[in-house]
Structure 1
């Protein structure tokens, strides 16, 4: 057992030592967040990926909308309040991530005093826009 552990350790160390490092390459992490709970993601018929940085000023909002694909969002600065047409309200502070998919309209709102910065990754079917506009729900009291 000790011999097996030693061999495994040597193989692991050998694998790391023999790896070829990158050359003339730079990477910059622009956003990092953590999901509040693990996510199961299923996406069909996607062919495009779009990255976007979104800034929402104090008192601003995204407007009511839905997305045709899936959007991964990370809050870099500030706190965004997400209001859904099913009358659900969720708050995501800086350092958190969430996913938006489905046909329930939502509106992201900046209730704070500082701008919000969001990093978004859209995964979309070919030929679709980033979002579709929707009417504000008349039955929710926010």
Structure 2
């Protein structure tokens, strides 16, 4: 039989590995399963681009489902704090006050943060269903109305 000379670090790592293996064999349970719980996923989406989220002074969380009929829109507005939106049905066109447009189809998510006004438009033939989660400072409304930019030509 060949003898193995382990350093102090090697002995420690070996002891940890053996302990972990024995814990698995022994069936030590560290989690508790849910009991009498129902979870319903109401919307699921993917960000087109990854986001790093940093929000300050958030105290309130509000969830909403919005339906926009064909030809309808959200009106020009901004949000205090941050809003995460997921497009459950349809395709929304986000018109920004810097005269750009972004298209978000079903199954995508996007974030609205900051003071650049926008208007969400349904240019399709079917209703759009959006799921929104607002993260906002205490006492602020969900949105502030804004004037449509006069220098953009969205038509």
Q: What's the C-alpha RMSD, in Å, of the aligned pairs?
A: 2.3
Task: Tell me by how many angstroms 1:65 deviates.
Answer: 0.1
TM-score normalized by structure 1? 0.90
How many Å separate the matches in 2 of 1:9 and 1:140? 65
In the alignment, does 2:98 pair up with 1:86? yes
Mark the runs of 5 or more structure 1 residues left unpaired by the alignment. Answer: none
How many Å separate the matches in 1 of 2:127 and 2:108? 16
Please give the per-residue CA displacement for 1:36-93, whole angstroms capped at 9, x wherever unaligned: 0110111000100000000000000000000011000000000000000001100000
**Which residue of structure 2 aligns with residue 24 of structure 1?**
36
**Which residue of structure 1 aligns with residue 77 of structure 2?**
65
TM-score normalized by structure 2? 0.83
**Which residue of structure 2 aligns with residue 44 of structure 1?**
56
How many Å separate the matches in 2 of 1:13 and 1:96? 43
CA, structure 1 residues 11+28, in 2 after alignment: closer, same or farther (shift >3 Å)? farther
In the alignment, does 2:83 pair up with 1:54? no
Structure 1 residue corresponding to 2:87, chosen from 66, 72, 75: 75
Matches within 5 A, 1:2-21: 18-21=30-33
In the alignment, does 2:119 pair up with 1:107? yes
Matches within 5 A, 1:119-134: 119-134=131-146
Task: Tell me by how many angstroms 1:123 deviates.
Answer: 0.3
CA, structure 1 residues 27+108, in 2 after alignment: closer, same or farther (shift >3 Å)? same
Q: What SS class does the counterpart of residue 95 from structure 2 fall into? A: strand
Task: Tell me by how many angstroms 1:19 deviates.
Answer: 2.1
How many Å separate the matches in 2 of 1:13 and 1:48? 46
Larger radius of gyration: 2
Aligned length: 142
